[in-house]
Amino acid sequence: MPLTESGVVRRAGGGDGGGLVSVGRCAGALALLAAVAVGCADGREPPTGSVRAAITEGAPTDGDPAVAALRARRALCPEGHDVDTFCSAVLVAPRVLLTAAHCLSARRVEEMEAYFGSHVAVLGYHARIVEAHLHPAYDPDTRQNDLALLLLAEPAPVRPAQLREAALEAGAVGQTIRIVGFGASFANGDAGAKQTGNTLITSVDATTFRTAPGPSLICGADSGSAALLVEDGVERVFGIARSGDAACDEFGVHTRVDAYLADFVAPYLEAVEATMPGGAEGLDPGEDFCARACAEDADCPTGMLCLPEAFGKRCGYRELRSGLFGEACSVSDDCDGPCVAFGAGSEQTCHCFTSCKELLMASPGPEPSSSRGCAFAGEARMTLPASRSAPALVLLALACARLRRPATRSRADRG
């Protein structure tokens, strides 16, 4: 089964960017470009909160190493920078996590990381996610077939959990099972600590089973967490948390893993096993991302999106937009601006970041006269530090190039 078929969430580019209005002078173009850039800086997509499922009456644990937290990618350094922990997952193969499909409703894959450890506030391993494969029949309205598989860039440094293959029978009702996740311990609580507890199976249907407090229950950010059952002395994953009541004190709903092994999970695991582990991205922080155009998110380094800017699509972060990575740093106090992470996992480095908009706005230059056209670009470069002049010049050149179009176009050609 190919890894990039209809059920795979591909990297997608951002929305369309606005074009420049043709004017008679480069000075006007530059002013308009700067104004549009300011507007683009606030043109982020509105957040759509993930649906929280939340382990109550549980206990913190440093066991179950295969259970991971799904987090928003950390853009700012150091690694302990606080970001949202929104779901849980379980490693079922060296490079594959199993989770709930609805966990991907609010974020693109390139904006997510998987954390392996006991608490997101302490040292652990953050794995880069490169692909998501949702069940092809997943229904976000009914939550039917609420499963997804996440592909890591490289094997995780922990042993995968075992999956239970035997069918879950109605006789399981009344049985106590164990749940493990990174969710909150009560409704509206803080997520991020791995917790475990016991819960009670109350009903079983063709694709899901329900649980009641035993005394624990899944709660916020436990969506995608593992339900484990011991048989013949071996504990195996047989359920993935899907949802629960808002107060986290009545019931939980879990997706049965056995119902999806043959036609969804196993074929994907076999396809991944047949491929070579992911390699280096071939991009480095020295790239001039202000000048380097992109067509889709796949053209950008991990965590960056192909965003529409006034001067064309460029790689950047949803919050910070496009920019340049400079000297290495540890914290933002080392820089004039933010200290930003480049890459992920063992390959991640931190660098001082300057946005393309800031570079453009930092090139005052003398006011051009009507007879000098675009010749003032060279003077603008002289006013900038050497490390910043080139990208600013590129942006100026792009603006000027837009103005050199033939004046004989019809109105229809102008859009």
Q: Is the dihedral of CA 255, 260, 266, 269 positive or negative?
A: negative
* Residue-by-residue pLDDT tens, the chain, 415 positions: 333 333 333 333 333 333 333 333 333 333 333 333 333 333 332 333 333 344 777 788 889 999 999 988 877 887 545 677 889 999 999 999 999 999 998 788 878 889 999 988 887 888 889 899 999 999 999 999 999 999 998 899 999 999 999 999 999 999 999 999 998 766 555 668 899 999 999 999 999 999 999 999 998 889 999 999 998 889 999 999 999 998 888 999 999 999 999 999 999 999 998 875 544 455 678 888 888 889 988 788 766 788 898 888 998 887 788 899 999 998 888 999 889 888 765 667 889 999 888 887 765 554 444 333 333 233 333 334 444 444 444 454 444 444 444 443 333 333 3
State whether 159 and 80 are in the same domain: yes
Give the number of other Cβ atoms within 10 Å of residue 175's Cβ. Answer: 12
> What residues contact 309, with CB distance under 8 A and at least 6 apart?
17, 37, 40, 316, 321, 322, 356
Q: Which two tokens stand for residue 67?
A: 């259970």
Domain that includes residue 159, residue range = 49-279
The predicted structure's pLDDT at residue 371: 37
pLDDT of residue 282: 53
DSSP line for 326-394: EEE-SSGGGSSS-EEEES-GGG-EEEEEEEHHHHHHT---PPPPTTTTTTHHHHHHHTS-HHHHHHHHH
* CA nearest to 257, candidates 182, 150, 177, 145: 145
Whether residue 233 is found in the same domain as residue 298: no
| Residues 127 and 240 reside in one and the same domain | yes
Residues 154 and 264 in one domain: yes
DSSP state of 110: G
Does 141 map to a domain?
Answer: yes
Q: Count the domains in the chain.
A: 2
Spatial distance between the Cα atoms of 14 and 103, rounded to a whole number of angstroms: 20
Instruction: Specify the DSSP class assigned to residue 111.
Output: G
Among candidate residues 228, 263, 279, the one where a domain is terminated? 279
DSSP state of 153: S
Residue 167, pLDDT score = 94
Do residue 100 and residue 27 come from a single domain?
no
Residue 56 contacts residue 186 (beta carbons within 8 Å): yes
Q: Are residues 261 and 386 located together in one domain of the fold? A: no
First to last CA, the chain: 44
Domain boundary among 279, 302, 320: 279
Q: Which two tokens stand for residue 85?
A: 């922990």
Query: DSSP characters for 241-305?
Result: EEEE-TTSSS-EEEEESGGGIIIIIHHHHHHHHTSPPP---S--TTS-TTT-B-SSGGGS-TT-E
Domain harbouring 189, CATH code: 2.40.10.10
Q: How far apart are CA 104 and CA 87, in angstroms?
A: 9
- 57 in the same domain as 37: no
Exposed, middle or buried, 287 (CB in 10 Å: 0-12/13-18/19+)?
middle
pLDDT tens column, 234-266: 999 999 999 999 888 899 999 999 999 999 999
**Same structural domain, 267 and 374:** no
Judge if 372 and 399 occupy the same domain: yes
Q: Let me know whether 269 and 302 are in one domain.
A: no
Tell me whether residue 195 is in a domain.
yes
The answer to whether the CB of 208 falls within 8 A of the CB of 111 is no
Nearest CA-CA partner of 9 in 128, 143, 109, 142: 109
Which of 252, 279, 306 delimits the end of a domain?
279
pTM of the model: 0.63
Cα separations (Å) of 154 from 85, 189, 336? 21, 32, 34
Q: Does one domain contain both 36 and 145?
A: no
- Distance CA(348)–CA(356), nearest Å, equals 22
What is the number of other CB atoms lying within 10 angstroms of the CB of residue 258?
16
Task: Return the amino acid letter for 49.
Answer: G
Tell me whether strands 85-93 and 96-99 are parallel, antiparallel or unpaired. antiparallel
